[in-house]
Structure 1
Amino acid sequence: MSVFVDITPDEASASSPPAAAPAGRWRRRLTAAALPLLSVVVFGVVWQLVAASGIWNQTFVPYPSTVWRAFVDVSTTHDGVRGYAGYLLWEHLYMTLRRVFVGVVIGVALGVLLGLVMGSVGWVRSVLEPWLTFIRALPPLAYFFLLVIWLGIDEAPKITLLALAALPPAAVATTAAVVAAPVGLQEAARALGATRTQVIRDVVIPSALPETFTGIRLAVGMAYSSVVAAELFNGIPGIGGLVKDASNYNNTPVVLVGIFAIGFSGLIIDGLLRTAERRAVPWRGKI
């Protein structure tokens, strides 16, 4: 005995997996990868055209090939000369990243802790918020020379400057996130018998984490924007010291190599932070 089941076209299409969905995902991924690559190509073409136009002297706008040769020279030993000022590019970059890492860790740790306290205790926020705004408004060079007078020209003023640059963004973002924590959830937790510490640990901190990560990313960016200032004195090895020293001799190709090194390493670090944020805060945007 045979059984025939009448299936309408709409039911058949609903029961079978859509074939266009994987294709659409791949198309979006290819577009997301192609657009940044296209922007780099366009930038390179425009740069080459501007350099070839002769409007500006090669000292000001060198050819991309000249910058590439400078990158190779700084990264290798050539004609008995090792990199730039006796250090290879990766050694300059390593010293800069080490300083940034230590400064950011100190600044972010203090900033997040300060933000938790300021967000939880109103009078502490009233006392410290103007000082944070004051420090955030200061350009790094405004107090770097004072740090040099106080701490010397070794690593201490550089790391202190980077920590001071990273602290306000982390503190402000954490404070705002803690203040904006859902009051209903906090009251529900207290109604169920949770202590103040438990409310902060189980309700406030998880709800504040997404904005705190945003503050951390901003803090890293502020520290990176201050790294050249931090390495003004005794900054070699270091990318900031390399850029400053090369600028003293109008060595624009090496200056551009240093700028690109800082920018590309910053992009990589920001990508790592975004990945860590997605893994640590999977509930962002879902509550």
Structure 2
Amino acid sequence: MPKLKSLSISLTTTVIIIVAWALLTSFHIISPVMLPSPARVFKTFLNLCSLGYNGIPLYQHYLITLGRLLVAVGLAIMVGIPVGLLSGYAPTIRAVVDPLIQFIRPIPPLAYYTLLILWLGIGEPSKITLLFLAALPPIYLSCFDAVIKIDEELVRSASSLGASRRQVFFHIIFPSALPDIFTGIRSATGVAYTTIVSAEMIAASAGIGWMIIDASHYLKSDVMFVGIIVLGITGLLLDWLIKLTENRFIHWRGKHA
């Protein structure tokens, strides 16, 4: 019942925003260049689906952006989870890795994007690397903190019963850290997602982020709104899928491991 109430409130809020948006544009309170009407944005969306933008169909722009994001986040998961868990479990690995991550973490991705282009060129490697570096620290830190806060009594009890370090890691530490790992994946996906427009800002010719930037040069606010709405809906769906997966597999969340 609370979920149904929350959903109804969210839908009502969305309807109110759309109605207010339509009223503002229908009475010309705001210039259509600054704020196109919902009808115009929807018509532009249909035109982009059929005619494309810059000769490329909208779905291809979308798939290019989504592909860059998923590859980068996937690589960050493959690197960040084992490195974060091992850093929390093994002081030697922590001493090597943690300073590097802590150095990268506060730097805005655009600060080193030009270096990545210089080193890797203007193609996909520089864009994916930028998103990867944006997504890596949140996953690493979540995994690291998850291991640090595990009850030492559990580890000592398992060791006293004859469990090896490998068994302790895979049967106690990893299951206990899984809820925090999913939290880190959600955070990393969000951080990488907010960086996608920056990644497609320079030396790109396709992608939703590039489409938004290119449209801004010609004051095509309707195209910009289509891109922003597509990105927003996709972000909501990605977060929902991660939470759904977490609820499906992490049934012990909030319980003592």
TM-score by length of 2: 0.94
1:92 and 1:236 in contact (8 A); partners too? no
Aligned mates of 2:103, 2:31 — CA distance in 1: 41
How big is the shift at 1:53? 4.9
Q: Secondary structure at the match of 2:31?
A: coil
- 1:250 is matched by which residue type in structure 2? L
Q: Secondary structure at the match of 1:137?
A: coil
The CA RMSD over aligned residues, in Å, is 1.5
* Equivalence map 1:12-23=2 (5 Å): none
Gaps of 5+ in 2: none
* Equivalence map 1:1-287=2 (5 Å): 27-76=1-50, 82-287=51-256
Deviations for 1:45-102, whole angstroms, at most 9, x for unmatched residues?
22223334544321111111111111111111xxxxx211112221111111111111
How big is the shift at 1:126? 4.1
Aligned mates of 1:272, 1:257 — CA distance in 2: 22
Aligned mates of 1:210, 1:38 — CA distance in 2: 32
Aligned mates of 2:13, 2:99 — CA distance in 1: 41
How big is the shift at 1:127? 4.4
Deviations for 1:231-286, whole angstroms, at most 9, x for unmatched residues?
12343321111111111111111111111111111111111111111122110012
TM-score by length of 1: 0.85
- 2:169 is matched by which residue type in structure 1? I
Deviations for 1:210-248, whole angstroms, at most 9, x for unmatched residues?
001100010111111110111123433211111111111
Q: Which has the larger radius of gyration?
A: 1
Between stretches 124-133 and 172-181, larger displacement belongs to 124-133
Aligned mates of 1:65, 1:135 — CA distance in 2: 44
Q: Secondary structure at the match of 1:244?
A: helix
Aligned mates of 1:126, 1:227 — CA distance in 2: 31
Aligned mates of 2:127, 2:10 — CA distance in 1: 33
Aligned mates of 2:22, 2:106 — CA distance in 1: 38
- 2:84 is matched by which residue type in structure 1? G
Aligned mates of 1:53, 1:285 — CA distance in 2: 51
How big is the shift at 1:198? 0.7
Deviations for 1:142-170, whole angstroms, at most 9, x for unmatched residues?
11111111111111101101111110000
Between stretches 269-278 and 131-140, larger displacement belongs to 131-140
Between stretches 105-114 and 170-179, larger displacement belongs to 105-114
Aligned mates of 1:136, 1:68 — CA distance in 2: 39
Between stretches 277-286 and 51-60, larger displacement belongs to 51-60
1:243 and 1:254 in contact (8 A); partners too? yes
1:75 and 1:90 in contact (8 A); partners too? yes
Aligned mates of 2:217, 2:157 — CA distance in 1: 63
How big is the shift at 1:30? 3.1
Q: Secondary structure at the match of 2:204?
A: coil
Percent of pairs with identical residues = 40
- 2:234 is matched by which residue type in structure 1? S
Deviations for 1:170-212, whole angstroms, at most 9, x for unmatched residues?
0000000011112111111001100111101100000001001
- 1:142 is matched by which residue type in structure 2? A
Aligned mates of 2:75, 2:153 — CA distance in 1: 33
Aligned mates of 2:127, 2:53 — CA distance in 1: 21
